[in-house]
């Protein structure tokens, strides 16, 4: 199962995410759930790196043969334009993940939590 956790601050603004696991819908290389999630995550990361003045903190690694782990945290001091841009990209990622989870909920769980 893939677990996608989005972190929000006290104001409800998204501050980052962790996506980890493997869907297990099909063998590695044929898993459409993993492929969809991977495409969404890679696109969001690329967008944040491209459009923000300060790059997000990113940890990206493979655990085992097919388990992935991606953690992204926004920098603490973003200007207002970068904050708006980051919210659009992170919210779009979250909506895309929720869409996949709506059809494949046993393979992907999406949640939001307060950033500690």
pLDDT digits (tens, 9 = 90+) for 58-103: 999 876 666 889 999 999 899 999 999 999 999 999 999 999 999 9
With a CB cutoff of 8 Å and minimum separation 6, the contacts of 24 are: 1, 31, 107
- % of the chain surpassing 70 pLDDT: 96
Question: What kind of fold does domain 2-114 have according to CATH?
Answer: Alpha-Beta Plaits (3.30.70)
Give the separation between CA 36 and CA 111, rounded to whole angstroms: 17
The pLDDT of 24-48, averaged and rounded, is 94
Ordered by start, the domain boundaries in the chain are: 2-114
């Amino acid at each position: 199962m893939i677990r996608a956790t989005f972190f929000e601050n006290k104001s409800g603004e998204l501050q980052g995410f962790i996506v980890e696991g493997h869907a297990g819908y099909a063998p590695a290389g044929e898993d459409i759930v993993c492929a969809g999630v991977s495409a969404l995550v890679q696109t969001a990361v690329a967008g944040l790196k491209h459009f923000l003045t300060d790059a997000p903190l990113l940890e990206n690694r493979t655990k085992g043969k097919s388990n992935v782990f991606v953690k992204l945290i926004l920098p603490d001091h973003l200007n207002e334009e970068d904050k708006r841009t980051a919210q659009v990209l992170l919210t779009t990622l979250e909506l895309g993940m929720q869409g996949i989870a709506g059809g494949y909920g046993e393979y992907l769980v999406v949640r939001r939590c307060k950033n500690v």
